[in-house]
Chain A
Amino acid sequence: MNMLLTEPSPVRPQGGQLMSVAEAARRIEQGGFFSIAGDEALLRQLPRGNWIGGTICYFMAQQGGQHSRDQVFVCEAEVLDARPQVRFYDLGSIGQVCVDAPDNGYSIIILPAFSAIHAHYAQHAPEFDDMFVKPLVGWVSGTEPGARDAGLPAVINGQTGELDHDRAIVMHVPLPEDCYAAVEIINLQRPGEGDRFRFDETGFSAGECWVNGTRVRLAEYLERAGTDLSLPLVADYAGAMINVSFKGIDQTHGRVDFFAPVFAGVDYRLAAPQRIGGAALQDGRAVAFSCNCILNYINDKLEGRRTGRFTGPMTFGEIAWQLLNQTLVYLTIERVEG
């Protein structure tokens, strides 16, 4: 799969910009509302204000893909109506995240990777009250793979300065009646023509599953077939291609682990290897928020390269209502004509 690609020349930022801590602080102090991504030490340096944040150090910046632990990525949530609301959600309250969202507006959520709320959200978000009815986008925070001082994935409430490893942080952004938000994804993966996989249980790992109606041990199947685990499983959700990326094979337990849950009762196929140009990345509308997957950054070697006009954090999971993998998520604000 090839996520884009265009030459690294400056673009008008779509979905935010990578900038210095000083510049981010200056903007926060001017009173706007922001979602911010960056290294934990940098997020801690930012002043209190109307922002939410999460830890990550890979970005699709205005100049192209970039790893940075001395800059933060800042995306402004333009205030067009009432003031946005910021709050934490824990395991007990996360099911109400869409109910709490404004009747007309959108919400940005950041979850700390590998936490219980990350797992709970991944497996149960499709069942949440009002899910899919109100726009919800966001991402999963992470740390630098292999870094000794990486710490734990975290989220932060900029209004209080509270940093948290176990709760989700959410900004609910109301919109005026003549506007509405639209959530889109760009997933260049397509299901291949090969075997059909079905799972009995929803979860982040699987021992056995059904392949074309025959029960098999998935780990053995994948190894025997010499499967390229950089290609995800893909499910067709009424025309939306939804990926589940492989985390790896646990030989000890005979188990296959995933970065997002496989859902029971859903048909999956391995993605077909392909190279696709950047046509899908040329959405001309103004992007209010976007994020992309760190696996795309790594697998597609995005360092120094751009994904069309989209900028944003390269994350441990993307959220367009439900948790996604290897997918670009973006949100636009549309104004009703007349």
Chain B
Amino acid sequence: MNDERSVWCRLLGVGAPWTVVESRVDEARRQCEVSIALEAPRGWFGLSKRIQPATRELSWRHVNFGNWDVRVSLMAPADVTLPTLSWAGEPDLPFTRELSQQVFAYLREGCSLQSICTLLRLPIAELWRFRYAIDNGRWLAGDVVAAPSPVAAVSGESGLDAAAGTVSATGGGVPDVSDPVWLDLVHGSRALDIRVLGLRLLLSRLRTQFEVIADDEVRLLKLQELHRYFVKNRRLLTHELAQLEEA
């Protein structure tokens, strides 16, 4: 293996049976494309390694390296299970797991899609695909080998309640985001007389999403959305907030 491919293997964390077979650099656009393929086992006499013929090629945007945008292409035989490693992604999603995790962390911090696009130099259409997958329960925050989420790292616990308890944000008169009231509202187990149309529509959307989202981290993101809505619209929600206070 030449030095360049070897360096990319180390930077991306690519190991056997996968290997970097090519890297292409576009200086003008500051873009790198790294191709990864399955390495055939050594020959009987251990003299050479061959690259297994690929029948499908997948491509994902990876985390940026400095000012360089990085794209990973994976060439794999059809019958080979795709690696669940940080440098790979799901076939129908635009990002590698590592970038997905990074984007998810920004979403958890309340960043808008446009801000994330600007910060990470991502096309909005790709970010939309990713958000759509999150909202429809097709992306699991836990399905990442590298780069564990800050919440999980801090709490060392699993489960939505434990994760929620590690986040703190409060708006005047609005229960803390860790309060179980948010989950109760989405589950419909907390009765609330709602007068505000926007809250009805948001809550209804969240309830539909919760039917298909199984991942605790993603559910937590949704609860944060609800909390942020209350903080932002607390002047409009006096009737609803009074009920939460009484309870």
Contact = CB atoms under 8 A, between A and B. Distances in A.
Interface of A: 92, 95-96, 99, 126-127, 129-135, 180, 182-185, 237-240, 242, 263, 265-266, 320-322, 334, 336
A239 B208 contact: no
B239 to A, nearest CB: 12
Given A127-B131, A180-B235, A240 B201 contact: yes
B169 interface: no
| 3 tightest A-B CB contacts, nearest first | A237-B204, A240-B200, A132-B202
B228 interface: yes
A127 B194 CA distance: 21
B114 A99 contact: yes
A126 B197 contact: no
A237 B235 contact: no
Interface string B110-145: 001110000000001100100110010000000000
19 contacts: A95-B128, A96-B114, A96-B124, A99-B114, A129-B112, A129-B113, A131-B202, A133-B232, A180-B235, A182-B236, A238-B201, A238-B207, A265-B211, A266-B204, A266-B208, A320-B197, A321-B198, A334-B235, A336-B235
Contacts of B199: 132, 238
B236 A180 contact: yes
Contacts of A131: 202
A95 B113 CA distance: 9
Given A126-B205, A180-B236, A239 B114 contact: no
Contacts of B233: 133
A238 B208 contact: no
Interface in B198-243: 198-205, 207-208, 211-212, 228-229, 232-233, 235-236
A127 B135 contact: yes
A72 B76 CA distance: 62
Contacts of A336: 235
Contacts of B228: 133
B198 A238 contact: no
A322 B124 contact: no
Given A95-B124, A99-B113, A239 B198 contact: no
Q: Pick from A99, A132, A242 the residue with the most CB of B within 10 Å.
A: A132
Contacts of A133: 198, 228-229, 232-233
Contacts of B114: 96, 99, 129
Contact of B201 (A92, A130, A321): A321
Contacts of A99: 112-114
Contacts of A185: 197
Contacts of B128: 95
A265 B135 CA distance: 13
